[in-house]
Amino acid sequence: MSLVKNISLVIALMITSSAFANTQNGKYFDRAIFVLFENTNYANALKQPFLGKLAKSGANFTNFLAITHPSQGNYVALTSGSLNGVKGDSKYDINSTNITDLLEEKNLTWKVYAEDYPGNCFTGLASNDYARKHNPFISYINIQKNPARCAKIVDAAEFDKDAASGKLPQYVFYVPNAKNDGHDTGVAYADNWYGQKFGAYVNNAKFMENTVLISTFDESGVSIKNQIYATIVGPAVQAKDYSTSLSLYSLLKLMEENWGLRGLGKEDESAPSVPNIWK
């Protein structure tokens, strides 16, 4: 067993019911954990061992689309309900309401765990294997200019610590670095990392209590359709394939529907809802 996998297993097994003491109840779940990967066609992602296992153990969406190419616009769409003028992967400072505003209006907690993130409200395009284009939250002006909100974007090393101490928020956005998300390495590498990092958590009933793990990609590989892999895994989820036509906007809408958020008045409003995947 690798050191990373062993550490994750130990931490996951340490988690007690205190990990859920601070959550507010949602309609379907009390905590959502997002993990996004890079530039892979649906069929190729589904062939990978860990991603394939998640597809069989949870809701696997067989007709799920990204919004655009290249990467950055998809992350922005998922978190703000619009491309907000983003047309590439360069630096954008976006003046837009986003999911964190809706969460805070309901006193719901959120945090971004970004691998290799330098901290201190870093707004540069890259640092080591961290890429700003994969962390949409630092591009929202009402986060980057607000030290208290910006402090909720942390290095991903804080994830295991928060999980062990019962401090994970209700909305978790985990940003793998450019190696672990497959951008620089390919989907097989990313899948191996994912299984080592999150496998023990998924298998820990206490950790997954009232929680969903949402795994998806920012965009397809070379594909006109832009179909991507997307799964939702959790104890309340029925394990089967769902063929409803969905998009990244549908996942944003799911957050709004689960916690009774007001919506952003953009593409989230007209996006198809995630179907009844619940037990």
Known catalytic residues? Answer: 184
CB-CB contact of 150 with 137 (8 Å): no
The b/e string for 52-83 (b: 16+ C-beta within 10 A; e otherwise) is bbbbeebbbbbebbbbbbebbbbbbbbbbbbb
For residue 86, give Cα distances in angstroms to 25, 65, 119, 196, 238: 34, 18, 24, 33, 35
Say if residues 266 and 78 touch (Cβ distance below 8 Å).
no
CA 180 to each of CA 88, 171, 176, 185, 197: distance values in angstroms, whole numbers, following the listed order: 22, 21, 5, 8, 10
Does residue 45 contact residue 184 with C-beta atoms inside 8 Å?
Answer: no
